[in-house]
Amino acid sequence: MAWEGSPPDLDGFRDLVEEALEGFPEEFQELVFANLAVVVEDVASPAEAARIGIRDPMHLLGLYVGVPFTQWGRDFSRPPDVIKIYRLPILAEAGSRVDIREKVRRVVLHELGHRAGLGEERLRELGVY
C-alpha cells in the first residue's frame, strides 16, 4: 500500500469523519443529525459483524444502528441512533490521504442513507457504496 505521508491517527481520522458530516447539505442537517451519535472505532467486534452477516470484521467499514426515519412516528421516542465508522478497514482499503478522505465521505453517506431508510440495492443505484 502506497501512502502519501503517514496514515491519519485516530484524531486525524475523526477530523475526516467530521468533514464528511459538515459536507452534508445544511438544509437537511437538523433532520438528519437529530438524535444521532457518530462514533469512530478501530474495527467492529466479531459479534457485531456476524450479526449483519459479515464474517471478517475488517470487511465492515461502517454500521448504522437505529430506526430509519421512514419508520418514525409523531411521538417516536428512543435512545439516539448510532453510526459507527471503522477506521482500520477504511485505512486498509485506501492508498493515500485523498483515497481515505473520499472513502470516509462515501461510508458516512452510505450510513446516513441507511438512516434515511435506503437499502443496499438503492444505495448501489445511487453510487453510495
Taking the CA atoms of 92, 97, 98 and 103 in sequence, report the sign of the dihedral they define.
positive
How confident is the model over 99-123, as pLDDT tens digits?
899 999 999 988 988 887 877 888 7
Q: State how far the Cα of 64 lies from the Cα of 58, in Å rounded to an integer.
A: 16
pLDDT of residue 88: 95
How confident is the model over 53-91, as pLDDT tens digits?
999 999 999 999 988 777 666 666 678 899 999 999 999
Which domains are seen in the chain, by residue range? 12-126 (3.30.2010.20)
Percent of the chain clearing pLDDT 90 (strictly above): 47
pLDDT of residue 69: 72
